[in-house]
Amino acid sequence: MEKKSRRKFSAEFKAKVVIEALKERSSIEEIARKYEIHPNQVGKWKKDFQAKAAIVFSSDEKASIDKKQQEDLLEKLYAQIGQQKVEIDWLKKKLL
């Protein structure tokens, strides 16, 4: 028996389906039938979209703070890697 692979949908496709569902011009079932997906999937995408919609309007300050924190962490980790490399090289030299 042949194994059927899962379909993967792009973010653009999901957004198109959700926006159509939010317009409420047609039922979820009709939208699902139109795009050949399960109605539960449309409902899940709609719920996820509504939960994360506030992120679009969040301030850029929070995003820049998060980016700065990530850069600081990355710099710290690179420093740690460099220190460990020096220590490993020193230990290898001592063993030989």
Is 0.85 topped by the overall pTM?
Answer: no
Between 72 and 56, the more confident residue is: 72
Residue 95 included in any domain: yes
- Domain hosting 32: range is 9-56
Q: What is the pLDDT of residues 12-67, one digit of tens each?
A: 999 999 999 999 999 999 999 999 999 999 999 999 999 988 877 776 666 677 78
Same domain (yes/no): 15, 43 = yes
Per-residue model confidence (pLDDT) at position 56: 76
Torsion angle of the four alpha carbons 22, 24, 27, 28, in this order, in degrees rounded to the nearest 10: 0
* Unique residue bearing structure tokens 């042949």: 2
Instruction: Give the pLDDT mean for 72-90.
Output: 95
- Is residue 63 in a domain? yes
Q: What is the largest CA-CA distance in the chain?
A: 77
pLDDT at 37: 95
From residue 40, alpha-carbon distances to 25, 58, 75 in Å are: 18, 29, 44
Q: How many domains does the chain have?
A: 2
Shared domain for 63 and 49, answered yes or no, is no
